[in-house]
């Protein structure tokens, strides 16, 4: 049985290699509430609609017909020649054999020590890394570093690699560019074997505006999953905004959370872009200085309700699931239980701390640092709401910015990194890099996070292949050999966990 929700559509047809992509061969019939369905009898389709089959849904609207990707597809693959995406039926004969039944998230993660990572850029070679390679080569490094949690970015399928995984098109699909669903399950199973919890960087704050790959204008109405008109467009992200007040959208997103917990055994989520969700103004150009900023007319009550439902579902389905909110506004109660009127998250990111360190390094010589200001910034958080402290994340590593090590070493990051090099500036940079991380870890919050490679002062920013850099992978990788070489200062930085 194949079903679809498309109340604004005039007709739907299931198409694929099983019916030679005939746009008239397999029509769906309309039911109540805008639901469409078609039954594919085993006797007729079992030999044609098989593991690996490609398919789409042809949606006819008042504006014409378009081949679309089903919103709840489990796997999307890209044609190497045409670059078009298609849904792929994924039903291997032998299901993945999980061995993590004894893994206890609460026991493994009493205090989260989080390693934020991107599977594709985790290899040193100039290419896209895989789930298997990450499990075999990077998880041992994470375990050796003492981290008890890995936070995976860019897992939800996204058509443009350079979006860092934040312009999601297919919410129920693990990105096929890194491997198969079984490969991702292998990664998570292996992490659990090593006593490491795995969080999904989940993107429910917005979605890609592409119609060919994503959800936008699926049924021709202009407001199926997203708000109609300007309210459905994020002014800064060039993407679409979900209509959290619509029951069908709530169920779509909530079922997405359960899917990742149940199907892939994720241990929780880092919710991206929560500030954008909480307010109609998305936090842009607003200084949050009083309660009127939090609870006035700018608050999006539909989104707040959705987040309360989301945390309730996650904690209800998996009691010890770990839920982290990326919020820079400081909304009171965000990390308090629902019964107290809170939103139900376990932790919020201390987004002001990395901004503080970068501002300090850009404008103030270290001998002029004001320790009172430093202490205030590191300890300025709401009592009773847990915080993830971090000196830098992927945001500070992007091209156009600099990592802490790059700010500290400056040009010396390319010329004075031999361990035997007596350059005083480089020695001072190594010491300050350690001090910044130590202070952030010690007093910045109740949990700690670092971005892949930053623990050893990775020398360069992150820039994914794009036309502007001639589609190079040079900056979309991690140079592990630098950290492993005892003759380099990177090795010294890595040893200071």
Confidence of residue 290 (pLDDT cuts 50, 70, 90): confident
Q: Has residue 477 been placed in a domain? A: yes
Q: Has residue 95 been placed in a domain? A: no
What value does the mean pLDDT take over residues 307-314?
A: 98
> Catalytic residue among 272, 455, 460, 463, which?
272
Clarify whether residues 118 and 233 are in a common domain: yes
Q: Has residue 93 been placed in a domain? A: no
Main-chain phi, psi angles of 277, to 5 degrees: -75, -40
Clarify whether residues 62 and 109 are in a common domain: no
Clarify whether residues 38 and 119 are in a common domain: no
CATH number for the domain harbouring residue 59: 2.60.40.10
Q: What is the pLDDT of residues 456-473, one digit of tens each?
A: 999 988 999 999 999 999
Q: Has residue 277 been placed in a domain? A: yes
Quick one: pLDDT at residue 443? 96
Per the CB < 8 A criterion, the answer to whether 149 and 322 are in contact is yes
Q: What is the mean pLDDT of the chain?
A: 95
Clarify whether 272 is annotated catalytic.
Answer: yes
Q: Has residue 458 been placed in a domain? A: yes
Clarify whether residues 199 and 345 are in a common domain: yes
DSSP state of 410: T
What value does the mean pLDDT take over residues 325-344?
A: 96
Q: Which domain holds residue 54?
A: 2-68
Q: Which of 68, 83, 117 is the last residue of a domain?
A: 68
Quick one: pLDDT at residue 497? 64
Clarify whether residues 278 and 167 are in a common domain: yes
Quick one: pLDDT at residue 454? 94
CATH number for the domain harbouring residue 332: 3.20.20.80
Residues 450, 147: Cα–Cα separation, whole Å: 10
Clarify whether residues 52 and 141 are in a common domain: no
What percent of the chain has pLDDT above 70?
100
Q: What is the pTM of this model?
A: 0.96
* Count of domains observed in the chain: 2
Clarify whether residues 159 and 51 are in a common domain: no
Clarify whether residues 333 and 399 are in a common domain: yes
Clarify whether residues 296 and 192 are in a common domain: yes
CA 206-199-460 angle, 5° bins:
80
Clarify whether residues 19 and 143 are in a common domain: no
Q: What is the pLDDT of residues 56-102, one digit of tens each?
A: 999 999 999 999 999 999 999 999 999 999 999 999 999 999 999 99
| 397 pLDDT higher than 90 | no
Q: What is the pLDDT of residues 297-307, one digit of tens each?
A: 899 999 999 99
Clarify whether residues 294 and 240 are in a common domain: yes
Q: Has residue 343 been placed in a domain? A: yes
Q: Which of 50, 68, 86 is the last residue of a domain?
A: 68
Residues 428, 426: Cα–Cα separation, whole Å: 5
Residues 51, 48: Cα–Cα separation, whole Å: 9
Quick one: pLDDT at residue 493? 87
Q: Kindly give the pairing relationship between strand 54-61 and strand 447-451.
A: unpaired
Q: Has residue 83 been placed in a domain? A: no
Q: Which range, 40-44, 47-51, 323-327, 454-458, is most confident?
A: 323-327
| 162 pLDDT higher than 80 | yes
Q: Which of 68, 97, 117 is the last residue of a domain?
A: 68
Q: Has residue 76 been placed in a domain? A: no
Clarify whether residues 60 and 121 are in a common domain: no
Q: What is the pLDDT of residues 107-148, one digit of tens each?
A: 999 999 999 999 999 999 999 999 999 999 999 999 999 999
Place of tokens 């659990």: 192
> Catalytic residue among 326, 346, 385, 455, which?
326
């Amino acid at each position: 049985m194949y079903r679809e929700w498309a109340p604004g559509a005039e007709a739907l047809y299931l198409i694929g290699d099983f019916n030679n992509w005939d746009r008239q061969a397999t029509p769906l019939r309309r039911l109540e509430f805008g639901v469409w369905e078609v039954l594919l009898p085993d006797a007729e389709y079992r030999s044609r609609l098989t593991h690996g089959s490609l398919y789409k849904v042809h949606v006819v609207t008042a504006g014409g017909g378009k081949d679309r990707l089903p919103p709840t597809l489990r796997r999307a693959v890209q044609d190497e020649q045409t670059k078009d995406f298609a849904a792929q039926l994924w039903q291997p004969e032998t299901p993945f054999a999980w061995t993590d039944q004894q893994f206890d998230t609460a026991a493994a993660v009493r205090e989260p020590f989080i390693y934020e990572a991107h599977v594709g850029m985790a290899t040193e070679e100039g290419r896209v890394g895989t789930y298997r390679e990450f499990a075999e080569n990077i998880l041992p490094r994470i375990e050796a570093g003492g981290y008890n949690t890995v936070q995976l970015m860019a897992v939800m399928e996204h058509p443009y690699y350079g979006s860092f995984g934040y312009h999601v098109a297919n919410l129920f699909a693990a990105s096929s560019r890194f491997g198969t669903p079984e490969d991702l399950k292998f990664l998570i199973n292996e992490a659990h074997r090593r006593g490491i919890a795995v969080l999904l960087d989940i993107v429910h704050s917005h979605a890609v505006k592409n119609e060919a790959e994503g959800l936008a204008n699926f049924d021709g109405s202009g407001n199926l999953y997203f708000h109609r008109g300007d309210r459905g467009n994020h002014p800064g992200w060039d993407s679409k905004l979900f209509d959290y007040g619509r029951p069908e959208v709530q169920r779509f997103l909530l079922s997405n959370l359960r899917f990742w917990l149940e199907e892939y055994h994720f241990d929780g989520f880092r919710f991206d872009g929560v500030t954008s969700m909480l307010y109609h103004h998305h936090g842009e150009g607003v200084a949050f200085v009083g309660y009127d900023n939090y609870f006035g007319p700018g608050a999006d009550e539909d989104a707040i309700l959705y987040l309360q439902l989301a945390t309730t579902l996650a904690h209800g389905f998996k009691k010890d699931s770990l839920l982290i909110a990326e919020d820079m506004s400081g909304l009171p109660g965000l990390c308090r239980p629902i019964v107290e009127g809170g939103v139900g998250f376990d932790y919020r990111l201390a987004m002001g701390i990395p901004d503080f360190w970068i501002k300090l390094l850009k404008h103030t010589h270290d001998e002029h640092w004001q320790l009172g200001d430093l202490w205030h910034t590191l300890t300025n958080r709401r009592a009773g709401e847990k915080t993830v402290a971090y000196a830098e994340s992927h945001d500070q590593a992007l091209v156009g910015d600099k990592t802490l090590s790059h700010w500290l070493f400056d040009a010396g990051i390319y010329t004075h990194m031999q361990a035997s090099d007596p350059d005083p500036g480089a020695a001072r940079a190594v010491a300050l890099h350690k001090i910044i991380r130590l202070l952030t870890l010690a007093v910045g919050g109740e949990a700690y996070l670092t971005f892949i490679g930053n623990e050893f002062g990775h020398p360069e920013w992150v820039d994914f292949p794009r036309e502007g850099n001639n589609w190079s992978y040079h900056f979309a990788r991690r140079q592990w050999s630098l950290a492993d070489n005892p003759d380099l200062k990177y090795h010294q930085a890595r040893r200071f966990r």
